[in-house]
Amino acid sequence: MMKNNFIKSFLTVSVLSAAVLPVSPASAQEKTEISLEQCQEMALEQNPYILNARLDVLAAQAQKREALAEYFPKVSVNALAFYAFDPMVEIGLTDVMGDNEFANNLNGMLEDYAAQYGFNTMYSTLKKGITATVSAMQPIFAGGRIVNGNKLAALGMEAAQLKEEIQLRTTSEDIEKGYWQVASLEEKMKTLEQMQGLVDTLYKDVNAAVQAGLATENDLLQVRLKKNELQSGKIRVRNGIRLAKMNLFNSIGLKYNPYRTVQNDSVPYIDDIVLSDRLTEPEAPDSYYRPEEEVASQQAEVRLLDLSVQSKQLEKKMTVGEALPQIGIGAAYGYGNIINKGQMNGAVFASVQIPLSDWGKTARKMQRYDYQIQKAENERKFLNAQIVLQVRQLWLDLTASWEQLLVARESVETAQTSVLQLESYYKAGMSPLSDLLQAQSQLQECSNEYIDQCIAYRTALQAYLNKAGK
Instruction: Give the tens place of pLDDT for each residue, 303-328.
Output: 999 999 999 999 888 888 888 888 89
Average pLDDT over residues 95-100: 77
Q: Does 20 score more than 60 pLDDT? A: no
Nearest CA to 1 out of 431, 361, 289 is that of 431
Q: Does 198 score more than 90 pLDDT? A: no
For residues 178 and 162, state if they share a domain: yes
Nearest CA to 170 out of 53, 277, 287, 305 is that of 53
Q: How far apart are CA 329 and CA 222, in angstroms?
A: 98
Q: Does 360 score more than 80 pLDDT? A: no
155: number of CA atoms within 13 Å, CB side?
A: 19
Q: How many domains is the chain built from?
A: 2
Q: Which of residues 99, 125, 151 is at a domain's end?
A: 125
Q: What is the dihedral of CA 20, 195, 454, 277, to 10 degrees?
A: 10
pLDDT band at 8 (very low <50, low <70, confident <90, very high): very low
Q: How far apart are CA 374 and CA 377, in angstroms?
A: 5
Average pLDDT over residues 107-117: 76
For residues 121 and 144, state if they share a domain: no
pLDDT at 470: 61
Nearest CA to 351 out of 72, 142, 148, 69 is that of 142
The answer to the question of residue 18 being in a domain is no
Q: Which residues contact 185 (CB under 8 A, 6 or more apart)?
A: 237, 240, 241, 244
pLDDT digits (tens, 9 = 90+) for 156-182: 999 999 999 999 999 998 999 999 999
The answer to the question of residue 17 being in a domain is no
pLDDT band at 30 (very low <50, low <70, confident <90, very high): confident
Which residue type sits at 395? Answer: W
Q: Does 39 score more than 90 pLDDT? A: yes
Average pLDDT over residues 201-207: 83
**What number of other Cβ atoms are within 10 A of residue 82's Cβ?**
12
pLDDT at 7: 34
338, 133 Cβ separation under 8 angstroms: no
The answer to the question of residue 43 being in a domain is yes
Q: How far apart are CA 111 and CA 123, in angstroms?
A: 13
Nearest CA to 137 out of 66, 75, 67 is that of 75
pLDDT at 9: 35
Q: How far apart are CA 82 and CA 346, in angstroms?
A: 21
List the single range of 45-49, 95-99, 465-469 with lowest mean pLDDT.
95-99
Considering the entire predicted model, what is its pTM?
Answer: 0.73
pLDDT at 13: 35
For residues 117 and 184, state if they share a domain: no
For residues 351 and 215, state if they share a domain: yes
**Domain that includes residue 196, residue range:** 4-10+27-88+126-468
The answer to the question of residue 237 being in a domain is yes
For residues 305 and 270, state if they share a domain: yes
Determine the 3-state secondary structure of 18 from DSSP.
coil
Q: Which residues contact 394 (CB under 8 A, 6 or more apart)?
A: 460, 463, 464, 467
Q: Which of 5-9, 107-111, 130-134 has the highest mean pLDDT?
A: 130-134
Pairing of strands 74-83, 89-91: unpaired
pLDDT at 141: 84
46, 150 Cβ separation under 8 angstroms: no
* 104-137: burial string, b at 16+ Cβ within 10 Å, e else: eeebeeeeeeeeeeeeeeeeeeeeebebebebee
